[in-house]
Amino acid sequence: MYVRCLLLLIAVIVADASKKRYDGKIVLSVEPSEEAHFQFLSYLEDHSQIDIWNELARNTSVHVMIDRNNQTTLMPIFESLNMKPKIMINDIQRLLDGEEQTLRTLSRIGSGRGIQDSFYNYDQLTAWLKQMEADFPTFAKLISIGKTYENRDIWVMKITSPSGGTKKTAMMDFGIHAREWISPATGAYMINEFLTQYSAGGDAKTIMDTWELHIVPVLNPDGYAYSHSNDRMWRKNRKPVSAGCVGVDLNRNFGHQWNTGGSSASACADTFHGGSRMSENEAKALEKYMTGKTWTTYLTFHSYGQWWFTNWGYTTVDPPNYALLKQKAQIGLNAIQSVNGRRYTLGSSAQLLYIASGGSEDWTAGSLGIFYSYCLELPPTGGTGFIAPVSEIKRTGAETFVGMVAYFKAL
Ligand SMILES: [Zn+2]
């Protein structure tokens, strides 16, 4: 018994040792207002001095993870540039330790706790999806649309009611970026809400009787699994690219105007666009599944920042359907705001942020011709950023569900 306990203990220590630690890392909030500020931040990011957590936008606080050792150098520079640096997170590792402890406790509690109470890892999520399909065979169909480099299934959960007639169709994907955990959690929340609330009538029934929803809860399974097991701050997929560099930024790999700005050719960079357009299994899987079908709308969910982006990402030129895109999105945003009072900013991503090419919503609009193509950045706008408390799953899930229902009804 003693030996067994000892072995278990060693196993735990080994498991923990494989996890990347963020000791001495802090997050600063800065306020860039001029071109020179953005160039400075981009330079620092390119040279791995900082990791920018949220979107680099004008008139918005930008959150940068830095090494505490560099604080004495960087703070005065940010101050001299009038970028108003403030400490947003004082000790990232402490936050991560707390998060891990919470998830461990929740998984020990087990039954009675559901998808809305914890950030499931990939295997837990897969088991849950299979269970939901078994529990709701009339409404749910789980389909593997492809395999990742590490041979994980990329799941689509197709949700609709058997009631007849031609239905509108939505593709919604979550978790393109591994560390944005609130995104897959929100996707799972919506799957759960639609399936469990159908019998009660109401909005879930209204939508499922008139729509076919295709939901990819995690479009980047390898990266997501890795963010749970090895590195909480991982963003890309896990395909080895070159010596010492792993992963492609899937949201720079899609094939409309690929590699035309705002992505990196450097394999180690967090925004590495891949060797060629649609080079990655995850992008190919979505392409194979979506091509040849008619889609009313496409929505891709990231975090964080509370943005609802229309096209385009690759150019600041207005999309031809800009007015309608904004009009329908605003209906969704008003509904979201009605739940918890949280406001989003709406507009073309290249106009609100900086140009970024290879995004999935540019590809669905530009290559597949999907009229209503959007990208959402879920909450929060600050706080603990990617490391959201588990209570945020219900809060974000509930308001996003209400927002989506209102948006679907408006189409
Ligand atoms: Zn993202």
Domain boundaries in the chain? 20-90, 120-410
CA dihedral angle for residue 237, residue 239, residue 240, residue 246, rounded to 10 degrees:
0
For residue 110, what pLDDT is reported? 64
Which residue type does 159 have?
I
**φ, ψ of residue 346 in degrees (nearest 5):** -115, 140
For residue 46, what pLDDT is reported? 78
For residue 16, what pLDDT is reported? 61
Q: Closest by alpha carbon to 300, among 226, 404, 179, 205?
A: 404
Across the chain, which has 411 residues, the per-10-residue mean pLDDT values are 48 63 97 91 84 87 94 94 95 96 83 82 96 97 98 98 93 98 98 97 97 98 98 98 95 97 91 96 98 97 97 97 98 98 97 94 98 98 95 97 98 97
Which residues participate in catalysis according to the annotation? 377
Given this structure, which CATH class describes domain 20-90? alpha beta
CA of 359 to the centre of ligand 1 (A): 10
Vertex 168 angle, CA 141 and 351, to 5°: 105
CA of 174 to the centre of ligand 1 (A): 9
For residue 5, what pLDDT is reported? 46
Which residue type does 45 have?
E
Distance of CA 236 to the CA centre of its chain: 11
CA distance 171 to 123: 23
Supply the pTM of this predicted model: 0.94
Residue 2, SS3?
A: helix
CA of 112 to the centre of ligand 1 (A): 31
CA of 270 to the centre of ligand 1 (A): 11
Pick the CATH number of 120-410 from 3.40.630.10, 1.20.120.640, 3.40.50.880, 3.90.1300.10: 3.40.630.10
Cα distances from 292 to residues 277, 286, 287, 295, 367, in angstroms, run: 19, 12, 9, 9, 12
Instruction: Dig out the tokens for 141 from the structure.
Output: 């169909």
Task: Determine how many CB atoms are found less than 10 A away from the CB of residue 333.
Answer: 22
CA of 68 to the centre of ligand 1 (A): 25
CA of 89 to the centre of ligand 1 (A): 20
CA of 42 to the centre of ligand 1 (A): 17
CA of 303 to the centre of ligand 1 (A): 6
Q: Closest by alpha carbon to 72, among 61, 87, 58?
A: 87
CA of 98 to the centre of ligand 1 (A): 23
